[in-house]
Copies of this chain bind each other. A is one copy, B any other.
Amino acid sequence: MNPLNFNATCPVPLTQYPHVLLAHGGGGRLMHQLISRLFLAAFSNPLLDTRHDAAVVELPGRRMAFTTDSFVVRPLFFPGGDIGSMAVHGTVNDLAMAGARPLYLSSAFILEEGLPMETLWRVVCSMRDAARRCGVQIITGDTKVVDHGKGDGVFINTAGVGVVEHALDIAPARVRSGDVILVNGDVGRHGMAIMAVREGLAFDSQIASDSAPVHETVRALLEAGIEIHCLRDLTRGGLTSALHEIAEGARLTVQVEEKLIPVREEVHAACEILGLDPFQSACEGRFAAFVAPADAPRALALMRTRNPEAARIGHVAPAAAPTVLLKSAVGTWRLLDLASGEQLPRIC
């Protein structure tokens, strides 16, 4: 986006307030201006516009999903996305992982004093656009400002509410031996997109984040009557962490095959340079689905209509103790270990 054009549309007078001040979080006139001219200008809807302490809505059903996520990614803008769209996708996806239809988001900003107002406006516009694309409304919010050096530009928390409109119980404990494991696309791209920017790596083809909403894919699976046992998005800790969580929750063994797991060439290359593991690198638009074996081919076909890289990567087996096994390209099996966690700070 052209920053000049962008600048021109920022509804807070940039000559007067080029940067966020502590007073923008102080509860007085400047805070009210920031909320009405910037946040309400972008997110406006009848519920948010009431500016009440809490939004009151009539849900289309009583079975509700509720989730929260904070976003502290740096840099704020990266190939394929930014903190604003991620904050929407991440929470929409968490709701989708419970099989819910995402409806409403909250947005809470922790701003660092000195943040360029134009940067905030860009982030807020990105959130607005992402929310529109996802069909969700931001109906309640909060803004805090911390002193310079006590934050890092912008942190965003989004909580989300959705409705569960089917009878399935989608949870780790529902996973059964024999379940087939599918992923909805290539893995590891978001983490490597961020690391490549930070480390200044240049490749023939730039690595773009996979940040995207997945609720429509989940909805298609549900509407097709696929017997879904569990869904898990591959965020922090990547595929490895997600598989471990499910193995633990189900008290079963997860077996996946390296050659079946889609990883793009440039992600492999970046991982090799940085000494990182693509299976531990976060995605922001990818999930693993654990489905009944009879429904797996149909589920995979549905996923592939949306992303041809979707793949069947393994299955679930009985276990004395829960574990995750990886069959290497040469056919040997090894434990797929959980990372200690140092490798990828602040990728979401």
Interface residues of A (CB under 8 A from B): 21-32, 50-72, 93-95, 97-100, 104, 106-110, 139-142, 144-147, 149-152, 155, 157, 159-162, 164, 171-173, 231-233, 235-238, 241, 244-245, 249, 280, 282, 338-346, 348
Minimum distance in angstroms from A58 CB to a CB of chain B: 6
Minimum distance in angstroms from A210 CB to a CB of chain B: 16
Of the candidates A53, A146, A235, the one having the most CB atoms from chain B within 10 angstroms of its own CB is A53
With A97-B53, A173-B50 already in contact, the answer to whether A157 and B28 are too (CB < 8 A) is no
- In Å, the complex CA distance between A161 and B147 comes to 30
With a cutoff of 8 Å between Cβ atoms, the chain B residues found around residue A141 in the complex are 68
With a cutoff of 8 Å between Cβ atoms, the chain B residues found around residue A348 in the complex are 144
A interface, over-half SS: mixed
Minimum distance in angstroms from A233 CB to a CB of chain B: 6
Chain B residue nearest in CB terms to A249: B51
Of the candidates A32, A54, A60, A145, the one having the most CB atoms from chain B within 10 angstroms of its own CB is A54
Assess whether B27 is in contact with A66, with CB atoms less than 8 Å apart.
Answer: no
Assess whether A70 is in contact with B28, with CB atoms less than 8 Å apart.
Answer: no
Assess whether A54 is in contact with B151, with CB atoms less than 8 Å apart.
Answer: no
Q: 6 smallest A-B Cβ distances: which pairs?
A: A27-B237, A27-B236, A28-B341, A26-B341, A159-B159, A68-B106
Assess whether A66 is in contact with B104, with CB atoms less than 8 Å apart.
Answer: yes
With a cutoff of 8 Å between Cβ atoms, the chain B residues found around residue A68 in the complex are 106-108, 140-142, 157, 159
Assess whether B150 is in contact with A69, with CB atoms less than 8 Å apart.
Answer: no
Minimum distance in angstroms from A34 CB to a CB of chain B: 9
